[in-house]
Structure 1
Amino acid sequence: MTPRRIVFVGPTLPEQRRPAGCFEYRPPVKHGDLFDLCLRPGDQVLIVDGVYQHYAPVRHKEILAQLARGVHVFGTASLGALRAAELADFGMRGLGEVYAEARAGRLVADADVAVLHADDHAGARRLTEAMVSVRHGLAELLRDGQLDTGQAARLEQAAARLHFTERSATGLRHTAGADRDAMHLLLDHLDRHGDVKTRDARHALDVLAAAPVPPPPAAPGTTDIWSSSYGREWDFEHRPLRPGSAVGARLALACLQLFAADFPERHRAYTLRLAAATTGRTGSAGLLLGAAGFAPATRPHARLARATEATAGWDADERLLARTFRLPPGRLVYQDLPAEAVAGSTLEELEERCLRLLLPASATALPTPHRHTLLRQLWQAGSDHEYRLCALERGFRDTAEAARLAGAFDLALVARLLHAPAAVR
């Protein structure tokens, strides 16, 4: 299979300046995008631009997870250069002048490479100038004798006083005061010759296009080397149910947890299997709890062992194990979609079911209190404590997680289906 070459780029390199051919262009990278791609060993990713103010930025663990899988990850010009400098010792490769400055410690702030841009069809049109571009432009004009050191210093100070969202051509001219003509010279220079970020991005693309795709790097001893419970959770939340699916794996599991009448049974089977694998023991839930260092339930009607409508036929130890189960180190209940959860359905059937129940993109999710009310009705929970038990025995960490995930679904439709529960199983 031909390795993929993916580039996350926006205002640093306008669409009309991007070389065609072997690259797959995507908008500036944000948190979860690398997991969403389902990358394979040998694939290449070049990060140029990324978002970090209105969306969560790409995390270092996301990049490390791809490196551990044998993906080649490069960074240049903007946020990519900063991440490459931070992760160079772990296998991410940097290209260009901005990367060199960041690696040398002369550039450390995200704000120095940040710009305001319009997310339009022309390829995220840039509206302001990055501070790193201003500094490089001034250095080039100073070197060519078009500015003196005093002018360059004053212009840099004037630009630095502006927030990156205000560093437009108009804003820079206004703040330059008596040096307005010199500022105009700088802006004209950046417009005619391109800023350092744009040059770096084009250079990186030329380098990657000219070089053959290298084989996957030697894999570390385990692909779990940079793993954490948060990284595994992010991966699960952003990974498609199957390649090309419009439904994420975590959302598919949530659909089952929330709406499958028999999901507590599936969850019990899952916890029994993993508890047995972890302890190296087989047997009853009580034996597994004891082997894990926990006391079995001594009182069948204790608060966490109390029966609900769905668990009336279980013994107290089974209810206790299912409701308290956590994966090491103790935060997550699920980090994948196990066979027990799917329980006889194909991924295609599960995808179709989720798509039918998902909230339309143009619709607004129900307020959180309404979600809690509907879930209590759906799970036949008569009290707050019973509602909590129902959430736990369905594999949620708490009722808040259940309500948050329920916000992705058309709960008005679910309410109409309450009298025909087989329709949502």
Structure 2
Amino acid sequence: MTSRRFAFVGPTLPPSERPDHGYTYLPPVRHGDLYALDARPGDRILIVDGVYQHFAPIRHKEILAQLARGVHVAGAASLGALRAAELDGFGMRGIGHVYGQARDGRLVADSDVALLHADDGEDEGAARGLTLPLVAVRHAAGRLLAAGKLDAQAAAEAERAAAALHFTERSARALLHRAGDARGAVEAVLAEIAEHGDVKKQDALLALAAEDAPAAVSVPAASVWHSSYGREGEFDHRPLLPGSRVTARIALACLQLFAADFPDRHRAYALRLAATAAGPAPDADAGRVLAAAGFPPAPRPEALLARSTAATVGWTADERLLARTFRLPPGRLVYHDLPPEALAGASPAEVERWCLRLLPPAGRPPAPTGRCHLVLRDLWQARSDHEYRLCVLERGFRDEQEAARLARVFDLELVDRLARTAA
């Protein structure tokens, strides 16, 4: 299978200056983007630009997850260079001057490579830089010093003038306005950048032209990236089917929320995994599983098991306790995949069709959280706040907030109409 190439690039390299080299260009990377790619072993990902102020930035464990599955990941020029310097011992490859500065400890702050930018047109990757990154000023001053066009004092003054401005304010005009006695040095630095381009652009072009993939590095994956947050992030963003806009997490949510028998599916899932972990035979009942796990037969938390809901009338007290309290180690998640019990014989393609039917039209705002709770309570026949909470738990949600957050993805007015028609 042919490997694919993806490059996350924004203002560092405008679209008109991006070479082909077989890359699919994507906007600056943010948390979840690597999971959403569903990259295959042998694929190559280059991270140049990334966001970190108004959105969650790309996290180290997300990169490590790709490396662990055999994806080649490299970074250069901007946020990618910083991440590569932090992860080069784990297999991420760094390219260029900015990476070298970060690796050697001479560049330590995200703000050194940051700049303010605006998105131009409909192309999400066509971000236009509005300010100058400090690393570009520093590099240009160093070039002028090496060429004998600035002395050490003038180069240092130009860098200090740039460092005194926040990255969101460091435009060429603002830099000249604040330069004071260093104006001549600042003018020389700006002219150098205008003539030769800033170092971030040079590094990005170098990385895109690099043909050799990074050498594989053996990393004990379980000790590096298997955490509840990493698993949840991958599950949230992994497409259910290649190219699908329905993620595995949304597919599970569709079943959790709207399948009438999902509590039975969740009970079967919890019983299988709990029996596997606790040690009794796979066909052991909930009471034996709980006993093997160290739960005393009494007293039990009556509020969680005494009352049945419309979906659990025929369950034993042990089954209600197991289903409503089940968690995966280390204790935060209930699901990090779409198990066979949840599918109940349906194919992923069938579940995708159901999800697509229940997704709202493009542009429609999501339902308010309060409306989500009302629709779910009615759908699940919960007669009180306490019973509603029990319904939430026996469908595999952590709490009411998680259930409502996932319900907001769907067209709840359509769901409500379908439910009333069926009734």
TM over 0.5: yes
Which amino acid is the alignment partner of residue 243 of structure 1? P
Contact 1:261–1:421 (CA<8 Å) still a contact in 2? no
Residue correspondences, number: 418
CA 1:362/1:250 → structure 2, altered by over 3 Å: closer, same or farther?
same
Alignment of 1:159-238 (within 5 A): 159-208=162-211, 211=212, 217=216, 220=219, 225-238=224-237
Cα RMSD of the aligned pairs, angstroms, is 2.0
CA 1:285/1:247 → structure 2, altered by over 3 Å: closer, same or farther?
same
Contact 1:305–1:317 (CA<8 Å) still a contact in 2? no
In the alignment, which residue of structure 2 is the partner of 1:5? 5
Which amino acid is the alignment partner of residue 75 of structure 1? G
Q: 1:77 deviation in Å?
A: 0.8
What CA distance in whole angstroms lies between the structure 2 residues aligned with 1:106 and 1:361?
47
Contact 1:29–1:50 (CA<8 Å) still a contact in 2? yes
CA 1:149/1:21 → structure 2, altered by over 3 Å: closer, same or farther?
closer
What CA distance in whole angstroms lies between the structure 1 residues aligned with 2:303 and 2:116?
57
Alignment of 1:386-405 (within 5 A): 386-405=387-406
CA 1:299/1:224 → structure 2, altered by over 3 Å: closer, same or farther?
closer
Q: 1:188 deviation in Å?
A: 2.1
In the alignment, which residue of structure 1 is the partner of 2:343? 342
What CA distance in whole angstroms lies between the structure 2 residues aligned with 1:185 and 1:333?
59
Alignment of 1:20-419 (within 5 A): 20-120=20-120, 121=123, 123-208=126-211, 211=212, 217=216, 220=219, 225-282=224-281, 283-296=284-297, 302-419=303-420
Question: Once superposed, which parts of structure 1, at least 4 consecutive aligned residues long, lie more than 4 Å away?
Answer: 218-225, 296-302
Which amino acid is the alignment partner of residue 42 of structure 2? G
Contact 1:70–1:218 (CA<8 Å) still a contact in 2? no
Name the stretch that deviates more: 1-10 or 175-184: 175-184
Q: 1:200 deviation in Å?
A: 0.8
What CA distance in whole angstroms lies between the structure 2 residues aligned with 1:225 and 1:144?
45
Q: 1:303 deviation in Å?
A: 3.6
> Partner of 1:45: helix, strand, or coil?
strand
What CA distance in whole angstroms lies between the structure 1 residues aligned with 2:77 and 2:183?
28
CA 1:73/1:173 → structure 2, altered by over 3 Å: closer, same or farther?
same
**What is the TM-score of this pair, normalised by structure 2?**
0.94
User: Structure 1: which 5+ runs fail to align?
Assistant: none
Residues 139-188 of structure 1, C-alpha deviation per residue, up to 9 Å, x if partnerless? 11222233333332222122112111111122212211344343233222
Residues 312-348 of structure 1, C-alpha deviation per residue, up to 9 Å, x if partnerless? 1111111110000011111110000011111122211
What CA distance in whole angstroms lies between the structure 2 residues aligned with 1:324 and 1:391?
11
Contact 1:65–1:223 (CA<8 Å) still a contact in 2? no
Which amino acid is the alignment partner of residue 48 of structure 1? V
User: Structure 2: which 5+ runs fail to align?
Assistant: none
What CA distance in whole angstroms lies between the structure 1 residues aligned with 2:391 and 2:422?
17
Which amino acid is the alignment partner of residue 143 of structure 1? A
Contact 1:69–1:219 (CA<8 Å) still a contact in 2? no
Q: 1:301 deviation in Å?
A: 5.7
Name the stretch that deviates more: 362-371 or 197-206: 362-371
What CA distance in whole angstroms lies between the structure 2 residues aligned with 1:312 and 1:300?
18
What CA distance in whole angstroms lies between the structure 2 residues aligned with 1:222 and 1:188?
47
Contact 2:382–2:388 (CA<8 Å) still a contact in 1? yes
- Identity score, percent: 64
Contact 1:237–1:251 (CA<8 Å) still a contact in 2? yes
